[in-house]
Amino acid sequence: MAKVYYDMDANLKVLSGKTVAVIGYGSQGHAHAQNLKESGVTVIVALHEGSKSRETARNDGFEVFSPAEAAKRADIIMFLVPDHIQADVYNREVAPNMKEDAVLAFAHGFAVHFGQVTPSKKNDVFMIAPKGPGHIVRRMYEEGKGVPALVAVYQNASGRAMEIALAYGVGIGAGRAGILETTFKEETESDLFGEQAVLCGGLCELIKAGFYTLVEAGYQPEVAYFECLHEVKLIVDLIFEGGLSWMRYSVSDTAKYGDAVSGRRVIDDAARANMRKILSEIQDGTFAKDWILENRAGRPRMKKWVAAERDQLIESVGRDLRSMMPWLAKKEAPEY
Ligand SMILES: NC(=O)c1ccc[n+]([C@@H]2O[C@H](COP(=O)([O-])OP(=O)(O)OC[C@H]3O[C@@H](n4cnc5c(N)ncnc54)[C@H](OP(=O)(O)O)[C@@H]3O)[C@@H](O)[C@H]2O)c1
């Protein structure tokens, strides 16, 4: 079982007299910076020239610097820029300017675990990875609650890296919910696997496969959309609230029996073998290398895939059906 830390296991005073530089002011950045500040920690924000987040951070009361300038001033440097640019920001701006004994912090292990960022042995390196998006991390803190987080220490140069990491976690409110100990390896590999095999890749392809199976068999696309996409939320909400057993208790007996006899025919031995292959390609670095090269080339494969996915029947049918549901806020993804 994972070791779990709470507020009482950490001492926020560990951060007093220290300056935390939060690099990036997006989903996680705005939440970490504001929560830490309200916990009494000195925080500065670092953003690149021309960043659209600069004004927001200033309006929220922060001094904003370039990453290079912030690195000179900071004792703890938290990287909350997108994972694929962390190495560039570290190598070009942070490493040449940071204090020799500065502490490096991350909210996801990708850059460190896959050797994109290679800190000097003189630095403590830790991770506090909230298990929720930034706006929830912020909202829960404001409500006196917290979002659980993972903590890991990659390097413990000072001998106090875990103490500092836990103080940081408590400062963003995670100690109110629970901070689970892990490693950079475990967090990074399991996070990539989860999003590829289940949460994003697996779920979207399951929905599409179900939708097109019905449409190709002559069922109306609108009906197929309701059955294979719209209702996913109802089921996931039940699973989220009380696990698989609560969902199965809540659905009809017919649905339960269908689950029993058909679920394992969809996710069969071949699908499980594919999952193991995906995991091994994450573990041996094949995926990380591929993603880094894709970024360097300007994301040609991803752009092509995004365009093809946007242009699908399931998307246009969904747009029309959602316009009939006035309780849904209209969401149209911008170009990405
Ligand atoms: N989002 C989540 O739910 C979540 C959960 C747990 C962990 N994480 C981890 O948290 C980290 C940050 O992710 P995020 O989702 O918060 O990112 P995000 O919302 O995309 O925000 C990125 C921020 O970095 C800024 N930025 C971009 N390039 C920069 C540069 N060269 N120098 C300085 N700032 C730069 C962006 O500025 P602009 O606004 O100008 O683009 C933006 O403010 C990642 O390691 C991610 O894996 C995220």
Q: Are residues 211 and 257 in the same domain?
A: yes
Q: Are residues 153 and 206 in the same domain?
A: no
Q: Does 117 sit in the ligand 1 pocket, CB within 6 Å? A: no
Q: Are residues 209 and 122 in the same domain?
A: no
pTM of the model: 0.93
Q: pLDDT by residue for the chain (336 residues), tens digit each?
A: 889 999 999 999 999 999 999 999 999 999 999 999 999 999 999 999 999 999 999 999 999 999 999 999 999 999 999 999 999 999 999 999 999 999 999 999 999 999 999 999 999 999 999 999 999 999 999 999 999 999 999 999 999 999 999 999 999 999 999 999 999 999 999 999 999 999 999 999 999 999 999 999 999 999 999 999 999 999 999 999 999 999 999 999 999 999 999 999 999 999 999 999 999 999 999 999 999 999 999 999 999 999 999 999 999 999 999 999 988 888 888 888
Q: Are residues 156 and 21 in the same domain?
A: yes
In a domain, 96, yes or no: yes
Q: Are residues 67 and 121 in the same domain?
A: yes
Domains in the chain, number: 2
Q: Does 23 sit in the ligand 1 pocket, CB within 6 Å? A: yes
C-alpha 189 – ligand 1 centre gap (Å):
19
User: Does an H or E element contain 45, and which?
Assistant: strand 42-46
Q: Which of 35, 44, 49, 51 gets mutated to test ligand 1 (max ligand atoms within 8 A of its CB)?
A: 51
Q: Are residues 240 and 91 in the same domain?
A: no
Longest dimension (CA), the chain: 68
Q: Which of 32, 47, 69, 127 gets mutated to test ligand 1 (max ligand atoms within 8 A of its CB)?
A: 47
Q: Which sequence positions are flagged as catalytic? A: 108
Residue that finishes a domain, picked among 134, 149, 182:
182
The domain in which residue 301 lies consists of: 191-322
**Per-residue CA distances from 95 to 25, 69, 205 (Å):** 20, 11, 41
Rounded to 10 deg, the angle between the 134-142 and 27-38 helix axes is 20
Q: What is the per-residue pLDDT for 155?
A: 98
Q: Are residues 167 and 278 in the same domain?
A: no
**Nearest-atom index, ligand 1, CA of 83:** 45
Q: Does 54 sit in the ligand 1 pocket, CB within 6 Å? A: no
Q: Does 116 sit in the ligand 1 pocket, CB within 6 Å? A: no
Q: Are residues 122 and 143 in the same domain?
A: yes
Q: Are 90 and 117 in contact (CB under 8 A)?
A: yes
State the Cα torsion 76-140-131-204 to the nearest 10°. -130
CATH code of 16's domain = 3.40.50.720
The SS3 of residue 127 is strand
275 Cβ neighbours under 8 A, 6+ residues apart = 193, 197
Q: Are residues 120 and 200 in the same domain?
A: no
Q: Are residues 198 and 172 in the same domain?
A: no
